[in-house]
Amino acid sequence: MKYWPKIIPGAVVFLSLTLNVPTGLAGTTNVACGNPADRFSPSTVTINTGDKVIWTWSGSLHSTTSGTNNVASGLWDSGLASAPHTFTNTFNTAGRFEYYCKQHFSLGMTGLVLVATANLAPAVAITNPAADSIFTAPANLTIGASATDTDGSVTNVQFRVGNAIVTNQTTSPYFATTNLPAGSYTLTAIAFDNLGATATNSVNITADTPPAVAITNPAAGAVLAAPANLIIDAAATDTDGSVTNVQFLLGTATLTNSFSGPYIANTNNLGAGSYILSAIASDNFGVRNTNSISINVVTPVNVTLTNAAPVAGTNFQFRYAANVGLNYVVQRSTNLIAWISIITNVAASNPVVFIDAHATNGGRFYRVGRMPNP
């Protein structure tokens, strides 16, 4: 700051040049002392707790002294000084703080600092879904969030999937719905308060196409003869990842976990009864898919042939006892040594009626046998 004296008869007047202190620093407010003459400029400032006020002298014999009516409160006092000079005070509590210049109080050189409590950011939390959740794709999700503001109000909550804005909700409950194909996603909720402060909460989730699994052996509804020794086969694939294992169940009991193809399990000596066989495939995201079938195990009846008799023309007919669902083979021989299989079929009734449409008048022998379990 520089001064140029100008001689005027009977008086000496000092012209002043004010130094402009850079403004815009966060938490700092500037006040000039003596520009205009014998005044604080601005005379009233509003700041937040923790902010600073910097007084910069642009004249002679000024002070910034806390208090009113020329009575100091003792909070701060720069003392009388002349330019160039600065004084700084930090305001750590909210309230109304008056001050004055000890040299020019009578001329009305007073000021006021209004300290407001600093705006606290709102709080926000995604309440649904949980972090690291895994969903079956396509995932129809409802994203929920809670948001509060202790020193004001929440004006809106913005929901994002990645960088894409899904919606802005202005009233509670705050939620958004979205449909996500297979992939990994970051869900974000951003809360805004009435003074523009924000808070953010994010969670990561995965939408996963479940693996495909199917029991290929035995066939659904298969009937087996007791005691049944059974090999269970399953096929499992995953289009957006990999199959990590296939678990085989007999009812609710685990038979085995197969970690690589071919996926196979064994069970032995199944007695007569109905059973549920299940194959549960899991993929690398932990998503599972299940295929279950029912089978029946029966106590096989003794195969006996009855009611053998010729029918129309050369046709020959007889009956044999069978278990419905089991597989039987009918064989024919002319010498009881060489046997020819005529037909293999699954018994649909008990007894089964068999007709040989190719019988001749010559001697023929017949026998029926139950096929082994597949």
Q: For residue 4, what pLDDT is reported?
A: 37
CATH number for the domain harbouring residue 280: 2.60.40.10
Q: What is the DSSP letter of 117?
A: P
> Same domain for 151 and 74?
no
> Same domain for 284 and 332?
no
Query: Tens of pLDDT along the chain (374 residues)?
Result: 333 333 333 333 322 323 333 333 448 999 999 888 899 999 999 998 999 999 999 989 999 999 999 999 999 999 999 999 999 999 999 999 999 999 999 999 999 999 988 788 999 999 999 999 999 899 999 999 999 999 899 999 999 999 999 999 999 999 999 999 999 999 999 999 999 999 999 999 999 999 999 999 999 999 999 999 999 999 999 998 899 999 999 999 999 999 999 999 999 999 999 999 999 999 998 889 999 999 999 999 999 999 888 776 678 899 999 999 999 999 999 899 999 999 999 999 999 999 988 776 667 899 999 999 87
> Same domain for 102 and 135?
no
CATH number for the domain harbouring residue 14: 2.60.40.420
* Cα 220 to the center of its chain, rounded Å: 37
Task: Pick the last residue of a domain from 63, 97, 116.
Answer: 116
Question: What is the chain's alpha carbon radius of gyration, rounded to the nearest angstrom?
Answer: 47
For the chain, how far is it from start to end, CA to CA, in angstroms?
106
> Same domain for 75 and 12?
yes
> Same domain for 85 and 156?
no
Task: Pick the last residue of a domain from 56, 86, 116.
Answer: 116
CATH number for the domain harbouring residue 327: 2.60.40
- Under 8 Å between Cβ of 263 and 234: yes
**Strand, coil or helix: 17:** coil
Q: For residue 310, what pLDDT is reported?
A: 78
Q: For residue 11, what pLDDT is reported?
A: 32
> Same domain for 275 and 222?
yes
Q: For residue 98, what pLDDT is reported?
A: 97
Q: Give the span between the Cα atoms of 74 and 192, in whole angstroms.
A: 40
Task: Pick the last residue of a domain from 188, 208, 228.
Answer: 208
> Same domain for 195 and 222?
no
Domain that holds residue 333: 305-370
> Same domain for 194 and 137?
yes
> What is the total count of domains within the chain?
4
Q: In Å, what is the CA distance from 19 to each residue of 1, 7, 61, 191?
A: 6, 24, 17, 42
